[in-house]
């Protein structure tokens, strides 16, 4: 069968044919021939309960029969209202929720919200952003600017706006002459220097708890907290991205709460709906929200909106999803599964190609190198992503890499037995491709 689909982040020349997924059940995906693959990347890091979770599908069906979509322009709907209340009560320090359709858009909203906040406050100079190197916030123009990953976005530089960037504390790749503790201080000093010398900074933007797409870089304890304190000291807005790191992925429901770093603005997505429907939300504190209030002639209201903002079908599904966290005590179970992953790290680290293993909660990045001593990444010419995908299929798992990093990001509710199956398959996959790269 001919395909007319152009796939994301995929060299189409290398992939003349794709597996057609026709069904999902639990942790498993089934293709059109009935072959099963474990969903080893949680369908791009968003699946919580596995596929076809009855409570979620029932919620979707029930809401579909009642109200499929209604605009949030000058109207509201009960599900958007209910979910916003839940989110604000769940996220410490937040006051209002602004809906969008995906994580990239939610982070675009964060940036626009910050800029308009300063404009509404009469601070016309505060227009610049600071972010961490290797951060990733999405693929739209604004988010490519905020989270510039050179290998992804260098071709689009002409349409991006300038952002000041500071180094992130990657334990595996510390510059010569630094201890890890010393390099952390260096990273923080760079931020302090920018803030001290520049009164035009609108906001500092970072992923909360860890950088994922930029290399699975887990922040050391206290790093994020210190940045939040610097932002308050210098009157810079603190914007966090919990699109991929919130709702249990790193082991806590609200990651910034664990990091003791309450932001001015935070965005959630991916697991918000359990991974079943497109929905994201940008939350702001009362200080931010109040700055947008005024007479219509003042033009202080937020100039942003989407057709499907606050879609009741997605909101209803998300309400059910969040209720299941408590019903099934998911965060507690995640902590047990995280210990299970931790117990396999030494075994994985000893594999020939493995240079480093980075892990937190239900996130693991396995960096593959051609030389452990020099830490040289596996060459792009080796077509590593394709080889990993093909080999992993032989072991019954759907696996993807980010460059030379194998990502293990399972659905959060995966069982002990299923997680062992995924880890065993990942180890076999890396072993078996060693001779090919």
Q: Could you report the per-residue pLDDT of 326-375, keeping only the tens digit for each? A: 999 999 999 999 999 999 999 999 999 999 999 999 999 999 999 999 99
| Per-residue pLDDT at 3 exceeds 90 | no
Distance between alpha carbon 29 and the CA centroid of its chain, in Å? 22
Same domain, 283 and 340: no
Contact 132, 206 (CB under 8 A): yes
Cα dist from 185 to 9, 166, 198, 263, 413, whole Å: 35, 12, 20, 21, 37
Are residue 182 and residue 284 in the same domain, yes or no?
yes
Tell me how many helices (H) and strands (E) the chain has.
15, 18
Do 124 and 150 lie in a common domain?
yes
Count the Cβ atoms, other than its own, within 10 Å of residue 135. 24
Is the pLDDT reported for residue 382 higher than 90? no
Tell me, yes or no, whether 41 lies in a domain: no
Q: pLDDT confidence of 225, banded at 50, 70, 90?
A: very high
Average pLDDT rounded to a whole number, residues 150-168:
95
Please indicate, yes or no, if residue 37 is contained in any of the structural domains. Answer: no
Q: Note whether residue 38 is domain-resident.
A: no
Which one of 294, 327, 360 terminates a domain? 327
Q: What is the pLDDT averaged over residues 31-55?
A: 97
Residue 118: per-residue pLDDT: 98
pTM attached to this predicted model: 0.97
Phi then psi dihedrals of residue 185, to 5 deg:
-65, -40
% of the chain at pLDDT higher than 70: 100
- Residue among 256, 258, 282 at smallest CA distance from 269: 282
Assess whether 372 and 274 both reside in one domain: no
Q: What is the pLDDT of residues 52-111, one digit of tens each?
A: 999 999 999 999 999 999 999 999 999 999 999 999 999 999 999 999 999 999 999 999
pLDDT given at position 381: 83
For residues 216 and 293, state if they share a domain: yes
Both tokens assigned to 295: 């007479």
DSSP string, 117-139: HHHHTT-TT--EEEEETT----S
Based on the fold, state whether residues 262 and 313 are members of the same structural domain: yes
- Domains contained in the chain, number: 2
CATH number at residue 418: 3.90.1150.10
Tens of pLDDT, residues 241-257: 999 999 999 999 999 99
Which position has the token pair 């794709």? 18
Task: Name which of 280, 284, 264, 283 is nearest 272 in CA terms.
Answer: 280
Q: Is the pLDDT of residue 113 over 80?
A: yes
Report the pLDDT value the prediction gives residue 11, as an integer from 0 to 100. Answer: 85
- Is residue 17's pLDDT more than 90? no
How far is residue 372 from each of residues 187, 349, 384, 400, measured CA to CA in Å? 25, 11, 17, 22
Cβ-contact 117, 291 below 8 angstroms? yes
CATH number at residue 147: 3.40.640.10
In tens, the pLDDT along 410-426 reads 999 999 999 999 999 99
Question: Is residue 298 located within the same domain as residue 273?
Answer: yes
**Cα separation, 112 vs 134, whole angstroms:** 22
Domain encompassing residue 422: 329-436
pLDDT of residue 1: 61
Mean pLDDT of 205-231: 97
Task: Give the 3-state secondary structure of residue 151.
Answer: helix
Taking the C-alpha atoms of residue 423 and residue 429, their distance in angstroms, rounded to an integer, is: 10
Query: Does residue 247 lie within any of the structural domains?
Result: yes
Count CA within 13 A, CB hemisphere, residue 199.
3
Strand partners, 21: 31
Residues 343 and 412 in one domain: yes
Mean per-residue pLDDT for 31-36? 94
- On average, the pLDDT of the chain sits at 96
In 3D, which of 211, 241, 260 has the Cα closest to residue 363? 211
Domain check: are 276 and 355 in the same one? no
Instruction: Looking at the structure, tell me whether residues 377 and 401 fall in a common domain.
Output: yes
């Amino acid at each position: 069968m001919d395909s007319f689909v152009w796939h994301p982040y995929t060299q189409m020349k290398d992939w003349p044919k794709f597996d057609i997924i026709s069904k999902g059940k639990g942790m498993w995906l089934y293709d059109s021939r009935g072959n099963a693959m474990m969903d080893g990347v949680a369908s791009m890091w968003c699946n919580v309960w596995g596929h076809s979770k009855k409570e979620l599908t029932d919620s979707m069906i029930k809401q579909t029969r009642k109200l499929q979509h209604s605009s949030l322009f000058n109207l509201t709907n009960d599900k958007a209202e209910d979910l916003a209340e839940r989110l604000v009560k769940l996220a410490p320090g937040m006051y209002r929720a602004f809906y969008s359709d995906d994580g990239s858009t939610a982070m675009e909203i964060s940036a626009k919200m910050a800029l308009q906040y300063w404009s509404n406050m009469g601070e016309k100079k505060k227009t610049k952003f600071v972010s961490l190197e290797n951060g990733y916030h999405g693929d739209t123009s604004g988010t490519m600017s905020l989270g510039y990953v050179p290998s992804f976005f260098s071709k689009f530089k002409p349409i991006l706006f300038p952002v000041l960037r500071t180094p992130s504390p990657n334990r595996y790749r510390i510059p010569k002459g630094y201890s890890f503790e010393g390099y952390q201080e260096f990273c923080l000093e760079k931020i302090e220097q920018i803030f001290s010398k520049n009164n035009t900074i609108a906001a500092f933007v970072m992923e909360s708890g860890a950088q994922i797409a930029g290399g699975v870089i887990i922040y050391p304890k206290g790093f994020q907290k210190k940045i939040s304190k610097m932002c308050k000291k210098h009157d810079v807005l603190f914007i966090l991205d919990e699109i991929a790191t919130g709702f249990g992925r790193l082991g806590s429901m609200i990651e910034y709460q664990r990091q003791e770093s309450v932001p001015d603005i935070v965005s959630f997505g991916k697991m918000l709906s359990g991974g079943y429907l497109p929905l994201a939300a940008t939350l702001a504190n009362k200080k931010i929200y109040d700055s947008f209030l005024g007479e219509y002639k003042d033009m202080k209201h937020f100039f942003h909106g989407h057709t499907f903002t606050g879609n009741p079908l997605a909101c209803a599904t998300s309400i059910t999803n969040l209720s299941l966290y408590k019903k099934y005590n998911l965060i507690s179970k995640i902590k047990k599964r995280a210990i299970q992953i931790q117990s396999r790290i030494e075994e994985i680290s000893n594999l020939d190609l493995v240079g480093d293993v980075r892990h937190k909660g239900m996130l693991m990045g396995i960096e593959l190198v051609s030389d452990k001593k020099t830490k040289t990444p596996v060459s792009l010419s080796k077509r590593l992503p394709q080889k990993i995908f093909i080999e992993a299929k032989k072991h019954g798992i759907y696996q993807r890499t980010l460059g030379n990093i194998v990502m293990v990001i399972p659905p959060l509710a995966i069982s002990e037995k299923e997680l062992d199956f995924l880890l065993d398959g990942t180890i076999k996959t890396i072993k078996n491709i060693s001779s090919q790269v």
